[in-house]
Amino acid sequence: MEEESAPATKVAMRAVPDVPLYASFFNHATCRCDELLAHNLASGDRRGMVAFQPRPAAPLAPVLAVVAGIAAFSVMDAAMKAASLMAGVGTALLVRNLMATLLTLPLWLAKGRPVPTRKVALLHVQRSCVTAAMAALFFHGLVRIPMAEGMAISFFAPIIALWFAALLLGETIRPNAVLAALLGLAGMIVIAADRLGAGEYGPDAVEGTIAILLSAVLYALNLVMQRKQAMLAGPVEIALFQNMNVALLLLAFSPFYWTMPDATSLAWAGLGAVLATAALLFLSWGYARAEAQVLVPLEYTGFLWAALMGWLIFGEQLGMGVLAGAGLIVLGCLIGTRGTQKDTLG
């Protein structure tokens, strides 16, 4: 991966259609970010941009990198669930991000200490704030419900983003987006009905489900920021500053939640740090080189890893209701992306 003195003119040369923001949520935020970069370059506004242009890669390489990144994040979820059950969510997250910062610091030094411009640094801070809240809500929920169920609910994020865009931006919802939302809602009902039928949906499960739904909303916003970051900064820079910023944010609130972790919870959190760092590097590298329509379906491979890790580590059984509900949510997301992918290619 190279950093050159010339700006990313390749982006400016590409004609980008005016796609609604909810499409960019579905498509890993490709269109709006590319359009903004192209506009800035065409108008001579290069403030806040770093001289980063990814090296061309083989067509399969970005796909494999994103698959590896999703797998690493899914296994990291299991490690962090174990650490959170032992030491608490806040402590586990703080330890993980402190360790991850130490892991990425040598890589950053080896890359020549790339320092972001003020505008890019602000983007790092903004995404770190979203990531910190998103992670805290997700793991708060994940310690209360099975992993596969939590992952299935998190797939609702792109569908939530449709209504998010309509409420905030006044955008018109397309018919396939309405169908996607209905299918996603049906999937949520199927998952809940499966737990209710088994008598397993107590107050903790309800609290966990709500927390993961709120986390899914932030995850949709995180996707937009992730793609924009990948176009403006290299993977090592992104990994270091995100880990460091999130650690600082968590440290500021640590007097309210800190508990002394034992050796086992430290080991789980350390494993989470290694996996989170690897995932950030893989995803940042892949998102800078792969088109949205290729990446969208790959998110759903995380469900397979979540189900496997839940079974291996926590003895969680995968019920037919969760499988059916997850299938409806994934189908809804794929239907919702179908039209936006055509627009992107047009």
Does residue 110 carry a pLDDT above 80? yes
Give the 3-state secondary structure percentages of the chain, helix then strand then coil, rounded to 5: 80, 0, 20
Q: pTM above 0.75? A: no
Q: Taking all residues of the chain, what is their mean pLDDT, rounded to a whole number? A: 76
Domain ranges of the chain: 61-345
**Which of the two residues, 269 and 186, has the higher pLDDT score?**
269
Q: Taking the CA atoms of the chain, what radius of gyration do you get in angstroms?
A: 20
pLDDT tens digits, 306-315: 888 999 999 9
- What is the average pLDDT across 258-276? 95
Would you place residue 72 in the very low, low, confident or very high pLDDT band (cuts 50, 70, 90)? very high
Contact assessment for residue 225 and residue 123, using Cβ atoms and an 8 Å cutoff = yes
User: What are the angstrom distances between the C-alpha of 38 and each of 29, 45, 65, 116, 221?
Assistant: 15, 10, 26, 20, 21
Does residue 39 carry a pLDDT above 50? no
Does residue 342 carry a pLDDT above 70? no
The CA dihedral of 40, 46, 51, 54, to the nearest 10 degrees, is: -10
Would you place residue 9 in the very low, low, confident or very high pLDDT band (cuts 50, 70, 90)? very low
- What is the average pLDDT across 49-57? 47
Does residue 7 carry a pLDDT above 50? no
What is the model's pLDDT at position 100? 92
3-state DSSP of 263-313? HHHHHHHHHHHHHHHHHHHHHHHHHCCCCHHHHHHHHHHHHHHHHHHHHHH
What is the model's pLDDT at position 198? 61
- The three-point CA angle 147-148-151 to 5° equals 85
Q: Percent of the chain at pLDDT above 70?
A: 70
In degrees and rounded to multiples of 5, residue 91 shows phi and psi of -65, -45
Would you place residue 334 in the very low, low, confident or very high pLDDT band (cuts 50, 70, 90)? confident
What is the model's pLDDT at position 264? 96
Tokens found for residue 142: 């994940």
Q: Encode 310-326: b = buried (16+ Cβ within 10 Å), e = exposed.
A: beeeeebebbebbbbbb
Would you place residue 35 in the very low, low, confident or very high pLDDT band (cuts 50, 70, 90)? very low
Mapped onto helix, strand or coil, the DSSP state of residue 14 is coil
Which residue, among 258, 3, 276, 324, has the nearest Cα to 131 in the 3D structure?
276
User: What are the angstrom distances between the C-alpha of 304 and each of 5, 70, 220, 266?
Assistant: 42, 11, 21, 26
Q: Percent of the chain at pLDDT above 90?
A: 34
Q: State the first-to-last Cα distance of the chain, in angstroms, to the nearest integer.
A: 29
User: What are the angstrom distances between the C-alpha of 63 and each of 208, 283, 293?
Assistant: 32, 10, 11
Does residue 101 carry a pLDDT above 60? yes
Does residue 6 carry a pLDDT above 60? no
**Which of the two residues, 295 and 242, has the higher pLDDT score?**
242
DSSP conformation letters of 225-248: HHHHHHHHS-HHHHHHHHHHHHHH
Does residue 119 carry a pLDDT above 70? yes
At 105, which helix (H) or strand (E)?
helix 89-110
- What is the average pLDDT across 256-269? 95
In whole angstroms, what is the distance from residue 124 CA to residue 188 CA? Answer: 33
pLDDT tens digits, 232-249: 888 889 889 999 999 999
- What is the average pLDDT across 126-148? 94
Would you place residue 94 in the very low, low, confident or very high pLDDT band (cuts 50, 70, 90)? very high
In whole angstroms, what is the distance from residue 268 CA to residue 92 CA? Answer: 9
What is the model's pLDDT at position 327? 85
pLDDT tens digits, 163-202: 655 665 566 667 776 787 778 778 877 877 776 656 566 7
CA atoms within 13 A on the CB side of 277: 25
Contact assessment for residue 343 and residue 23, using Cβ atoms and an 8 Å cutoff = yes
In degrees and rounded to multiples of 5, residue 262 shows phi and psi of -90, 180
Does residue 65 carry a pLDDT above 50? yes
- What is the average pLDDT across 273-286? 85
